[in-house]
Amino acid sequence: MLVSVRNSAIFPEQIVVVGGGRWARVLTGVLCGFVDPSVKILLQTSHNTDSMSLWITRQNFKQDIVVTSKWPDVNPELTAAIIVVNAARDHEKTIERALEAKIPILVEKPVTFSENATKRLVNLANDYNVPFFSAHIFLFASYLKNFFLLIPKIEKVQCIRFNWMDPKIESRYGEKKQYDSGLPIYADWLPHIVSIVSIFTSHLSTACKSLKYKRGGAHLNIELMLGDIPCYIELIRDCDHRSRLIEVTTDKENYKLDFSTEPGTITYNKTEIIGDFDWRESQRPAAQMLTAFLKCATGGDVDERLSIEVGLSANTAIDQVSILYDLSLNKFLVDKFSVPLIIDDDLRYALKEILSSEGPLSEDIFDMQVQQILAYSIQSKTSDWFEKLNNITSMKEAVRSIIQK
């Protein structure tokens, strides 16, 4: 098989990008910035072909890019790689199809929604002998490596704190940033946090000790135990500003990295320094990650930062947090439905998460469903369903059942 060569880098002759959202466009743009123009890029999106095609036309990329709503027609005689960046709910079936096609695969976080599902796919990849990697972009961020190099041995660390916040309206990479309403905040962001901690140490077990549920799930305070080290994590969506803050407390010093704006600033010992002095001249993390993957996909050395083990560790944390999260969500819904129902912002957030879990909803359809739930709650005050709220094991299913009536 032939491969394309440019600047001593080796790339597959075909690259498939599965996804139709902002991040799919970002990664496609990054690819077109460094792969050879002869590389064919196939962009598959089930529901967004028109806007993606228009975006491709406006970019004037040198590469031959084909946008399709169907599974891409990959030439088996040519080298290929696939990058999965569609909705997390669709990852598992997309990964399985790529593995069956024997195409090396890189998948965005979270790999799947559970450790068992990811392990099944890892076993399938081993059976097919297909390279299978998880994408954790912060493992390629120089400022994080620089930060952790300053910190003494893990035995000296007393606790780690993360503050991770996104504003309601934000522009990133020139586009409006929107999250998947059906993806709980912990499943969306814990993979980032787990991967960042793995830069410092990849040998600590993870256990969820506590969770505080606020604002219908838009604000969580999570305590994870990393071995014997407590890790306090605050996650907030729809707030008034962006925040990416890590604080590591040792027996003698406090170390902070604020990378809300890259490459961030590091503060320790009453000193403040730039996270990476070479940031402007360096290749960005996304380009580094994609370059490493494409080299692996064509038989090059495997970059350990792409290890699927990081994705599995993130799944372990997600599984543990999900237990406490579901209990908190259930209690929140019972409390809301046990009194005359008021659709406030917190309840709207929780309902949007529940009702969007199977696929995105337009605001019009969601508003219609909210009104349907409100009307049902008013009509059902004396019904068996309303009287037995405290005996319902899953209020999520109860809410879904209203929409299906």
Q: What is the pLDDT of residues 109-152, one digit of tens each?
A: 999 999 999 999 999 999 999 999 999 999 999 999 999 999 98
Q: Where do the structural domains in the chain lie, given as residue ranges? A: 4-135+285-301, 139-274, 326-404
Q: What share of the chain is helix, strand, coil (3-state, %, to 5)?
A: 45, 25, 35
Q: What is the pLDDT of residues 273-290, one digit of tens each?
A: 999 999 998 899 999 999
CB 134 within 8 A of CB 143: no
Written out in words, the top-level CATH class of the domain with range 139-274 is alpha beta
Q: What is the pLDDT of residues 302-322, one digit of tens each?
A: 999 999 999 999 999 999 999
Average the pLDDT over 332-336 and give the result: 90
Percent of residues, the chain, with pLDDT higher than 90: 75
**H/E run at residue 314:** helix 308-337
CB 212 within 8 A of CB 325: no
What are the DSSP calls for 180-199, one per residue? Answer: -TTS-HHHHHHHHHHHHHHH
Percent of residues, the chain, with pLDDT higher than 70: 93
CA distances to 163, 228, 261, 352 from 245, rounded to whole Å, are 5, 22, 10, 28
Q: How many angstroms separate the CA atoms of 50 and 366, rounded?
A: 24
* Average pLDDT for the chain: 91
CA distances to 34, 58, 73, 283 from 63, rounded to whole Å, are 10, 13, 17, 20
Q: Which of 57-66, 195-204, 334-343 has the highest mean pLDDT?
A: 57-66
Q: How many angstroms separate the CA atoms of 187 and 70, rounded?
A: 28
Global pTM value = 0.92
CA distances to 179, 311, 377 from 187, rounded to whole Å, are 12, 12, 30
Band the pLDDT of 384: cuts 50, 70, 90. Answer: low
pLDDT at 211: 98
Q: How many angstroms separate the CA atoms of 197 and 228, rounded?
A: 14
Written out in words, the top-level CATH class of the domain with range 4-135+285-301 is alpha beta
Q: What is the pLDDT of residues 201-251, one digit of tens each?
A: 877 788 999 999 999 999 999 999 988 899 999 999 999 999 999 999 999
* pLDDT reading at 5 higher than 50: no
Q: What is the pLDDT of residues 38-94, one digit of tens each?
A: 999 999 999 899 999 999 999 999 998 999 999 998 998 999 999 999 999 999 999
pLDDT at 312: 96
pLDDT at 381: 59
Pairing of strands 219-226, 229-239: antiparallel
- Beta-carbon-side half-sphere exposure of residue 293 (alpha carbons within 13 Å): 34
Give me the residues paired with residue 265 across strands.
258, 274
Q: How many angstroms separate the CA atoms of 295 and 285, rounded?
A: 15
CA distances to 178, 334, 372, 401, 402 from 385, rounded to whole Å, are 35, 12, 15, 11, 10
CB 186 within 8 A of CB 321: yes
pLDDT at 111: 98
pLDDT at 71: 93
